[in-house]
Amino acid sequence: MRIELVDDPRVGINIAKRTLYKICDVGTVLFLSGGSTPKPLYKSLAEEVELRIGAAAMIDDRYSFHQEYSNEPMIKESGFEDFLANQNIPFYKILEFGVGKGETTKKYNETVSFLLNHFTKSVGIMGIGEDGHTAGILPGIMQNSEFVQEFHFPDSQIKDRITLTFKALSMFDLLVVLVFGDEKKNALDLMFSEGSEEEVPARFYNRKELDGKVLLITDQKL
């Protein structure tokens, strides 16, 4: 794992942006996480119009079509979705109106399988939650053997989620993990502690097989 320790999240966003400009090309599919942390990155990428990719896709989403809860509106608000449309870059979303959770999961699993096989490079913009979750994989969730999984998490406000699994994420060529804010310090400590990935999903980034494929950018001392 390569670690970039920064004093200001804006510096971290610039490092992530320069990395994407260097690594990505038209043979790359870029997978996008939701949340507030990557929004400045998406906004900057949209404004500069320098990013070259072949496609973009979502990493996870809450199975909710309410604008407050779905990850997709943030991508739109950042201007990145319009950037993709203006550059004629396909954007593969998870949610489809009128399609049930099971069918949505099945269809997106097929989409991700196609993307991972069609494009020569796969890059993911990742984050870590305060509880140590990453992508849509929350603590205590047993994963299946597919690229995409649905699950029901009764303790969450939005109980139904659809996410790429570690099987899919482990096939990426680069995982850019953005972790900013004092509230994430404990999550980082948990990530580097001993224990299972089921308990702390962010421990996934410590896998030996991912050595050289993870770029952690944070403003928290480790």
Phi and psi at residue 9, to the nearest 5°: -55, -30
CATH number among 3.30.2420.10, 3.30.365.10, 3.40.50.1360, 3.20.20.140, domain 2-218: 3.40.50.1360
Query: Regarding beta strands 160-164 and 148-152, do their DSSP bridges make them parallel or antiparallel, or are they unpaired?
Result: antiparallel
Residue 68 to residue 10: CA distance in whole angstroms: 25
Q: Could you tell me if 216 and 179 are in contact, meaning their C-beta atoms sit under 8 angstroms apart?
A: yes
Instruction: Say if residues 123 and 24 touch (Cβ distance below 8 Å).
Output: yes
SS3 207: coil
User: Mean pLDDT score of the chain, rounded to an integer?
Assistant: 92
pTM: 0.94
Report the pLDDT value the prediction gives residue 156, as an integer from 0 to 100: 62
Six token digits for residue 55: 């496609």
Domain boundaries, the chain: 2-218
Confidence band of 155 (pLDDT split at 50, 70, 90) = low
What local confidence, expressed as pLDDT, does residue 154 receive?
65
HSE on the CB side for 195, CA within 13 Å? 15
pLDDT one-digit tens code per residue, 194-204: 999 999 999 99
- Look-up of token digits 């979750």: 133
Identify the weakest region by mean pLDDT among 8-17, 118-127, 158-167, 212-221. Answer: 158-167
Q: What is the pLDDT of residues 37-96, one digit of tens each?
A: 999 999 999 999 999 999 999 999 887 655 556 788 889 999 999 999 999 999 999 988
- pLDDT tens figures, 210-220: 999 999 999 99
What's 99's DSSP letter? Answer: -
Could you report the per-residue pLDDT of 111-121, keeping only the tens digit for each? 999 999 999 99
The distance between the two most distant Cα atoms of the chain, rounded to a whole number of Å, is 46
Contacts 24+ apart (CB under 8 A), 110-119: 111/57, 112/57, 112/147, 112/148, 112/164, 112/168, 113/147, 115/29, 115/55, 115/57, 116/29, 116/147, 116/168, 116/171, 118/29, 119/27, 119/28, 119/29, 119/54, 119/55
